[in-house]
Amino acid sequence: MKRLDQGGPGTHVQPIPTELLTINIGPAHPATHGTLRLQLQLDGETIVNCGAEIGYLHRGYEKQAESTFYQLVIPYAERLNYMGPVNNSNAWCHACEQLLGIEVPARAQALRVITSEMGRIIDHAVCIGTNLVDIGALTNFWYMYNYREKIYDLYEELTGARMMVNYPRIGGVAMDAPDGWFESLIKVIDEMGEAVGDVRSLVERNRIFMDRTIGVGAITKELAIQHSVTGPCLRAAGIPYDVRKAQPYWGYEKYDFDIPTGEGGDTYDRTIVRFREMEQSVRIIKQAVASIPGGPVMVDDHLVALPPKDKVYNTMEGLINHFKLIMHGIRPPKGEIYSATEGGCGELGFYIVSDGSPSAWRVRIRPPCFANYSVFPKIITGGMVADAVAALGSINVIAGELDR
């Protein structure tokens, strides 16, 4: 419909003098799901200009990681993307292992794959659930959070903690799975697969959802390359890049799974890609459980792995080994490494510079959200405020990772 001052019906009405309105969204706003600040300039309801400010959750992670031992960074790493915490600590340990040049035992690799895919599922579940709440569909939120709880229960059974599990170690994982854990995992995963299908069928052909999301906040291929967008946001734009396929680690090349892609890169595609990735994660977990090898879950290297407790308490050598690792740490050689894994939101990279001491000289994190969010002001300009909220939820910006 033409506006009154553009010669639509009722042109006899004098143009109404208007001016641009500047509004703030955030840093504490329910739609940002974190601490982000947006400043929008509005012409009526249309966004004509947008500025994004980040840094409200900056905790000096990189400085902290430089000042503690490599193994003490593992719990911090989980606070990066706190929606799928284990993916980050697994990635950190993987980077340290690349720096040390050690290979993790096959069973530990499979356990890392399983815990990472569980992390991916809950990350996507939260993203989809909260995004749908933002655009008015509350039911799916409860479905998704219900199964997130069940996955937390599984983490608790495996590690003793629910959310920040501190499960991997440099050289393996902390403990093997308890008896019967894989059976309950498969049971939950099967139910989860059904729940994902249920929620997907609720939204996929839903008229309101489609109207709210199709063509909204589209990231084109060119824009994605310009901004190094990775993860589901990139795959929704039609570029099938996934570190798990491109440069496999932890034996991902053994598993049969697809990379779901979209076409338009809009909010609808991003949501559907996440649904399909959850289904692929279910597939990977099933294959990993079915083919899990036996053997140790920790590398046999006394310079990296803590000795078993009975050796620490009963032998002198074990006690000395334990003391040396705790007090003097793990010492990688001088060198630098860039290690990339696929986190919940995209390529999670760690660039570590080592000076041969037990703490890193420099830790630089490539957080996927930083790149994904940098494109956000561009994709919402020209749209409505309500569209900005829908697009923000589907990019899945995790402030902990964005600001470090």
Partner 1 sequence: MNESDILARVKERFGARVLAEYTFRGQTAVTIAPETLRELLLFLRDDQETQMDWLMDVGGVDYLGYGSDEDERDWRFEVAYQLYSMGKNHRFRVKVAVRDETVEIPSVWDLWAIANWEEREVWDMFGIRFTGHPNLRRILCHDEFVGHALRKDYPINKRQKLSQPSEMILCEKVEWA
Least distance between partner 1 and beta carbon 336 (Å) = 6
Told to check if 80 binds partner 1 by CB under 8 A, we report no
Identify which of residues 37 and 150 has a Cβ nearer to partner 1 in the complex.
37
Q: Does 43 bind partner 1 (CB under 8 A)?
A: no
Query: Cβ(168)–Cβ(74) under 8 Å?
Result: yes
Least distance in Å: CB of 367 to partner 1? 9
Smallest separation (angstroms) from partner 1 to the CB of 374: 5
Mapped to the 3 state alphabet, what secondary structure does the chain carry? Answer: CCCHHHCCCCCCCCCCCCCCEEEEECCECHHHCCECEEEEEEECCEEEEEEEECCCCCCCHHHHHHHCEHHHHHHHHHCCCCCCHHHHHHHHHHHHHHHHCCCCCHHHHHHHHHHHHHHHHHHHHHHHHHHHHHCCCCHHHHHHHHHHHHHHHHHHHHHCCCCCCCCEECCEECCCCCCCHHHHHHHHHHHHHHHHHHHHHHHCCCHHHHHHHCCCCCCCHHHHHHCCCCCHHHHHCCCCCCHHHHCCCCCHHHCCCCCCCCCCCCHHHHHHHHHHHHHHHHHHHHHHHHCCCCCCCECCCCCCCCCCHHHHHHCHHHHHHHHHHHHHCCCCCCEEEEEEEECCCCEEEEEEEECCCCECCEEEEECHHHHHHHCHHHHHCCCEHHHHHHHHHHHCCCHHHHHC
Q: How big is the site for partner 1, counted in residues (CB under 8 A)?
A: 55
**Can you tell me which of 374, 384, 385, 386 binds partner 1, judged by CB under 8 A?**
374
Per CB under 8 A, which region of 5-13, 46-54, 132-140, 180-188 contacts partner 1? 46-54
Answer yes or no whether residue 362 interacts with partner 1 by CB under 8 A: yes
Binder of partner 1 out of 101, 136, 293, 295 (CB under 8 A): 101
Assess 355 for contact with partner 1 (CB under 8 A).
yes
- Residues whose CB is less than 8 angstroms from the CB of residue 58 and which lie 6 or more positions away in sequence, other chains included: 403, 404
Residue span binding partner 1 (CB under 8 A) among the ranges 98-106, 142-150, 299-307, 313-321: 98-106
**From candidates 37, 150, 162, 302, binder to partner 1 by CB under 8 A:** 37
- By CB under 8 A, is residue 382 in contact with partner 1? no
Taking residues 106 to 145 in sequence order and writing x for each that binds partner 1 by CB under 8 A, - otherwise, the string is: ----------------------------------------
**Strand-pair partners of 298:** 172
If one asks whether residue 221 binds partner 1 (CB under 8 A), the answer comes out as no
**Judged by CB under 8 A, does residue 324 bind partner 1?**
no
CA 113 to CA 339: how far, in whole Å? 16
| Distance of closest approach, residue 220 Cβ to partner 1, in angstroms | 12
Q: What is the rounded distance in angstroms from the CA atom of residue 229 to the CA atom of residue 248? A: 19
Question: Which of 202, 364, 384, 386 is the binder for partner 1 (CB under 8 A)?
Answer: 364
**Residue 246 makes contact with partner 1 by CB under 8 A:** yes
Identified binder of partner 1 from the candidate list 8, 51, 136, 296, rule CB under 8 A? 51
Answer yes or no whether residue 67 interacts with partner 1 by CB under 8 A.
Answer: yes
CB 53: neighbour CB atoms within 10 A? 12
Output the smallest distance, CB 62 to partner 1, in A.
6
Binding partner 1 (rule: CB under 8 A), the pick from 15, 60, 215, 308 is 60
Instruction: Name the residue nearer to partner 1 (CB basis): 98 or 287.
Output: 98
Binding stretches for partner 1 (CB under 8 A): 22, 37, 39, 41, 49-55, 58, 60, 62-64, 66-67, 98-99, 101, 223, 225-228, 239, 241, 246-247, 334-338, 340, 347, 349, 351, 353, 355-356, 361-362, 364, 366, 370-371, 374-375, 377-378, 381, 403-404
